[in-house]
Structure 1
Amino acid sequence: MLDTLFPFLGGLGLFLIGMMLLSEGLVAFAGGSLKQILLAFTGRPIKAFASGALITALAQSSTATTVTLIGFVSAGLISFTQAIGVVIGASLGNTATGWIVSGLGLKVDLGFYTLPLLGLGALLKLLAPGRYKELGRALAGFGILFLGLSMLQDGMQGLAASFSLAHLPTQGYGAHFLIMLTGLALTAVLQSSTAAIAMTLTALDAGAVSFDQAAAVVVGASIGTTLTGILVAIGGTIYAKRTAIAYILFNVIAGLLGLLILPVFLKAMHATGSYINIPPGAVGLAAFHSLFISIGAALCLPFTQQFARWVQRLVPDRSARPQHHLDDSLLQVPALALETTQRTLEELAQRLLNLYQHTLNMSRPNTATADLQQIETVLDQAYEFVLRIPSAADDPAVATRISALLHTIDHMHRLRSRLQNPPNGDLHDSRYQQAQTLATELNTLAQASLHGQAPADWLEQIQVKAHALTERLSTIRGQLLAAPQGHDDASRTLRITDTHRWFERSSQHVWRSSYYLNLARQTEL
């Protein structure tokens, strides 16, 4: 018994590790390619659907697709309605592994032929520069995956004699539902619908389950894959919750459709098998998986707007303004985590600069104190988030961008502190006219840069104006200290000097935060 159980368990473990390495390696190697594909093909629902299916099939991970999607929705790159199409496509792309396993893995001993990939992958991981290390991880994962599948197949052949579902009923919806729950439980234990379906395919190939039972298990695995989505939804941002709920709802709908059409499909497969004298097998099972997902997609895609509104009603946004877009799940894709942080800081910078302009105009809104408190909270969260973004020692672009974002957060914090404590007195006083004019021009340039409407040399202009304010402070301080002063004159000197220092310090932080925010954008991966 142990000589069959151990290879089965070892094969299953290798398959899961291979899937993990392949998925993580491909996602890390692809970097900005995921972003480019999604952004290029997320116009109409059918294009969003195609991009979701393509990315998931290539990355071998619907999780990678949904994580990327969460970041894009939260950053405002695509709408939630467009995201629905990608989510549906990800479900179809998830069926690609079943075709690979049934079409090649069970027919050819790929575990033997992919062994060289393990050596090549290990060499690339150890010796290759930059992102090619991640390509090595993906190649090694690919080799381990099929080596595990080969061991799983051998172990299942031995277990088939002692493990069988033949005692379970196979006819009627009640029987199908019971077997479906088995597939759901299997996926819950393995935390991978792909692994559950690979096990089912090898069990079918070994004769441990019938085709009817295997088809019902696949339906259960398709629904069970949403359990990971439930974990993502718990404690995630509003965007993570909505994306996870959309993924869950679609897979449940598609799974129920699969259960509904299962008797008809089985009759058709058995009739076809009798006609060509070949019983239905693993390829037919992969086809069934793709079939009911495709039917679900065909029914849901025309109603993506209604689907999106339904999810939004199920998961309402109870805050007037989202606290932040930084979800921990984004840390799995450093390029995406950096992009989302960048856009979060750009949004906060716009709010800070607006408040700065109101302060210069002596027209601060009543909500200024609350807004500044909320900005401080999000900046603190952004700082903690950036520190947790993985940074490889041999990837200077990631390290440079992380450093730039941390500098940005620091100067935005300091600007917020200046706005929290504006100077006393009338900033429209003629003594401050030159400083106010320079600060307003500087702030206008910084705001225009956030909208992409600033002149080419906007950063140099901001620097010149910031230096002019520094010189203005030095000049005013010298003039005031040179004049003879009484007690009242000394108080007035301090007030005027402090006000000019406020102009000078605020402008420095606007300049520096603009500089580092631009540097982070220029270092985009």
Structure 2
Amino acid sequence: MIDVIFRLSGGIGLFLLGMALLSDGLVAFAGAALRRALLRFTGTPWRAFASGAITTVLIQSSTATTVTLIGFVGAGLIAYSQAVGVVIGASLGTTATGWFVAGLGLKINLGYYTLPLIGAGAFLRIMGRGRWRHLGLALAGFGMLFLGLSGMQDGMRGLAQDFDLKSLPSHGLQAHILAMLAGVVLTTLLQSSTAAVATTLTALHAGTIAFEQAAAVVVGAAIGTTLTGALVALGGTVGAKRTALAHVLFNLGSGIIAIVLLPVFLSVISWLNAHAGLEAGAMSLAMFHTLFIAVGVAAFMPFVGRFERVVARLLPERPQDMSRHLDASALAMPFVALEVSQRALESITHQLVELQRVLMRKPLSDSEMQTLERAHTALNEALQFIARLPPLEHEADLHRQRVAQLHAIDHLLRLHGRLLNAPDPSELLDDVAVHVLRRQMEELLDLVHDGLDGKAAPDWMHELDRRNAQIRASIGTVRAQLLESDSVDGGLARALQLTDSLRWLKRSAGHVQRICFYLLAGRQAPVESDKLPAPDESELAVGPETDMGVRQPSTQV
């Protein structure tokens, strides 16, 4: 008996570990491609559905698809309305693993033959660089999955000799509900519906449980898999919570339909066994899994718009702030987390730039000072969020993006300090030169908004560089006139005070330019960011070359 327990628990453990390594490796290896695919193919509900199904089949985990999707929604990359179709597709896509296990894993003992794959994957994980390390992780996971399946089969054969679960009640609604709850508990414990379904398929193949019992357990597994996404969404944005709730409601609705109509589904399977050549046992259970999820798709997808609105009413939108994108659930996926922080920093930049515009005309009001304080809080939250990311030394592009964002935060904090201690705008002389300077600064700030929103020309950073140089030249001219003039009220002391205000304005514009430079460098590909104009450093010491691949300006301003 102890030998059976050891084999079964070890097999389940290896299968779980293999699934986790396979899914994590594939998601990390194809992270950018996965993001582009989900963004590109989620335009309509049916395209979003197809995107979710195909992605889940490729990465072999509906949980991974759903958790990734929740991160995308939290980051604002995908709208909640598009995400609903993806989670429904993910539920159907996960049934492919059951076919894979039933059609190949249980018929051929591949555990021994995949041992070299585990070795090759581990070697690639240790010796590889960049994305290839993640591919090695996926290969090792794929091999461990089959090794674990072999252990589960051996354990289930021994369990069938000591326990006859088929003798337990399996007919009637009450028995079906109890078996379904067992499936929910099993999936919750294993944290993987794929592992729960594979365990059930193995038990059925070994003769440990009856088909009707196994069918109800699989229904419970489909419901239980939604708990992981729900836990991930806790504390996240409203969109992330809505996505998780939509996943729960769809799988729960499909499960209720399957349990209530289980005799009908079993009759359909029997007919397929007799007339369509469907194999009895594991293959039939895989068909049942796909069939009841497909019925759920047919029931929900024609009314997906209404379904979205119902979920939205259950979780109404709340007022959002500048750090609304900083969803902790995204930290598990660095490429998503950096997109989250990028959007948060762009939102903060918009707010500070608007406050800079106000200060060109008048002192900040109480509400505007509160906005400035919230921006400072959001900047600290963004810094803490980025600090929680794992080391990214082996991910050159992600590491470079992280460094760029840290530089942007540095200059945003410096800009915040200058706005907090801004001179009274009335100190500036009311003459033609100052009016021209104000207009030039406001045009620069308009360009910042358009550039960050994607409304400016592709070379907007070059134009921003030109406008900043123009402002510096105008300030230099006005300062020279002030120091050379004898007509300033208050004499030389007053002239020096006015030139100090002009210096504040010049350095504020310099920080704005640097912020945009680093935000754009963090969003573009390395080759493209090398083509960006470096910030104007005519009054600053040129900093050393960094590992970002672009020349960095000194931050001593």
TM above 0.5, yes or no, is yes
Residues 363 and 499 of structure 1, relative CA distance in 2, 3 Å threshold? closer
Paired residue type of 2:53: A
| Code of the aligned partner of 2:514 | R
The answer for the alignment partner of 2:537 in structure 1 is none
Matched, 1:210 2:207: no
Q: Take 1:304 and 1:494, find their aligned partners in 2: how far apart are those partners?
A: 66
Q: C-alpha offsets along residues 459-506 of structure 1, whole Å, 9 cap, x if unaligned? A: 234334434545555666666567789994355234312311221121
Superposed displacement of residue 275, structure 1 = 6.8
Distance 1:382 1:160, change over 3 A: same
Counterpart residue number, 2:419: 419
**Shift in CA distance, 164/373, structure 1 to aligned 2, threshold 3 Å:** farther
Change (3 A) 1:433 1:100: same
- CA 1:365–1:425 in 2, change beyond 3 Å: closer, same or farther? closer
Q: Aligned residue for 1:74? A: 74
Contact between 2:362 and 2:425, CA under 8 Å: does it hold in 1? no
Contact 1:400 1:523 in 2 (8 A): no
Q: Is the 8 A contact 2:322 2:375 kept in 1?
A: no
Match of 2:551 in 1: none
Task: Go from structure 1 to structure 2 and tell me whether the alpha carbon gap of 1:152 and 1:422 turns closer, same or farther (over 3 Å shift).
Answer: same
Partner of 1:106: 106
- Cα distance in 2 for partners of 1:334, 1:488 equals 57
| Whole-Å separation in 2 of the counterparts to 1:222 and 1:282 | 17
Normalised by the length of structure 1, the TM-score is 0.93
Following superposition, the deviation at residue 440 of structure 1 comes to 2.1
Could you list the per-position Cα deviations for residues 157-200 of structure 1 after superposition, in whole angstroms to 9, with x for gaps in the alignment?
11111123223211111111111111111111111111111111
Aligned partners of 2:75 and 2:336 also within 8 Å: no
Q: Does 1:49 align with 2:43?
A: no
Inter-partner Cα distance in structure 2 for 1:491 and 1:459: 38
Q: Aligned equivalents of 2:446 and 2:179: distance in 1?
A: 65
Contact 1:12 1:149 in 2 (8 A): yes
Structure 1 residues 428 and 157: alpha-carbon distance in aligned structure 2, compared to 1, 3 A threshold: farther
- Residue type of the alignment partner of 2:65: T
Per-residue displacement from partner, 1:343-365 (whole Å, max 9, x unpaired)?
22222222322232233244967
Q: Aligned residue for 1:315?
A: 315
Residue correspondence of structure 1 range 107-126 to structure 2 within 5 A = 107-126=107-126
Per the alignment, residue 20 of structure 1 pairs with: 20
1:505 paired residue number: 507
In the other structure, the counterpart of 1:452 is: 454
The root-mean-square deviation of aligned C-alpha atoms, in Å, is 2.6
Could you tell me how far 1:126 is from its partner in structure 2? 1.9
Query: Which amino acid letter does the alignment assign opposite residue 231 of structure 2?
Result: L
Structure 1 position 306, deviation (Å) = 1.4
Corresponding residue SS for 1:236: coil
One-letter amino acid matched to 1:511: Q
Name the residue aligned to 1:401: 401
Give 1:205 deviation, angstroms.
0.6
Are residues 1:165 and 2:152 paired? no
Q: Does the residue aligned with 2:227 lie in a helix, a strand or coil?
A: helix
Matching residue of 2:491: 489
Partner Cα separation in structure 2 for residue 456 and residue 186 of structure 1: 53
* Residue from 433, 436, 441 that aligns with 2:435: 433
Secondary structure at 1:107 match in 2 = coil
Question: What's 1:95 paired with?
Answer: 95
Which range moved further: 268-277 or 74-83? 268-277
In 1: Cα distance, 2:284 partner to 2:278 partner: 11
Amino acid corresponding to residue 157 of structure 1 in structure 2: R
Distance (Å, rounded) in 1 between the aligned partners of 2:253 and 2:262? 14
Cα pair distance change 1:197/1:140, threshold 3 Å: same
Aligned residues: 525
Amino acid at match of 2:468: A
Q: What amino acid sits opposite 2:520 in the alignment? A: N
Partner of 1:142: 142
SS of alignment partner, residue 166 of structure 1: helix
Q: Does the 8 Å contact 2:468/2:513 carry over to 1? A: yes
SS in 2 for 1:110: coil
Q: CA deviation at 1:9?
A: 0.8
The Cα of 1:243 is off from its aligned counterpart by: 1.3
**Partner residue, 1:245:** 245
1:442 match: 444
Q: In structure 1, how many angstroms separate the alpha carbons of the residues matched to 2:322 and 2:303?
A: 27
User: Is the CA contact (8 Å cut-off) linking 2:63 and 2:225 kept in structure 1?
Assistant: no
Aligned residues of 1:323 and 1:374 also touching (Cα < 8 A)? no
Distance in structure 2 (CA, Å) of the matches to 1:142 and 1:323: 39
- Give CA deviations for 1:373-398 in whole Å, capped at 9, x if unaligned: 22222222111112223343232211
Q: Are the aligned partners of 1:179 and 1:213 in contact in 2 as well (CA < 8 Å)?
A: yes
Q: Tell me: CA distance 1:164–1:380, structure 2 relative to 1, closer, same or farther (3 Å).
A: farther
> What's the secondary structure of 1:161's corresponding residue?
helix
CA distance in 2, matches of 1:117, 1:520: 37
Query: Quick one: which amino acid aligns to residue 313 of structure 1?
Result: R
Flag the 1:452–1:178 CA change in 2: closer, same or farther, 3 A: closer
Matched, 1:280 2:286: no
| Structure 2 CA distance for aligned equivalents of residues 456 and 86 of structure 1 | 32
Indicate the residue corresponding to 2:131 in structure 1: 131
Letter in 1 for 2:309: R
Q: Which residue of 1 aligns with 2:522?
A: 520
Matched residue SS, 1:113: coil
Measured against aligned partners, the alpha-carbon deviations of 1:21-79 in whole angstroms (never above 9, x if no partner) come to 00000000002111121122111111100000111111112232223322333344332
* Contact in 2 for aligned 1:436/1:503 (Cα 8 Å): no
Other structure's SS at 2:112 match:
helix
- Distance in 1, matches of 2:469 and 2:100, equals 63
C-alpha distance in structure 2 between counterparts of 1:46 and 1:486, whole Å: 70
In 1, the alpha carbon distance for the partners of 2:114 and 2:497 equals: 76
**Residue equivalent to 1:236:** 236
Alignment of 1:291-440 (within 5 A): 291-319=291-319, 321=321, 323-362=323-362, 367-426=367-426, 429-430=430-431, 432-440=434-442
Distance in 2 between the 1:98 and 1:513 partners? Answer: 50
CA contact (8 A) 1:211 1:280 kept: no
Tell me the TM-score normalised to structure 2 length: 0.88
**1:291 to 1:10, Cα distance in 2 relative to 1, 3 A:** same
Offset of residue 327 of structure 1: 1.4
Q: 445-454 vs 363-372, which deviates more?
A: 363-372
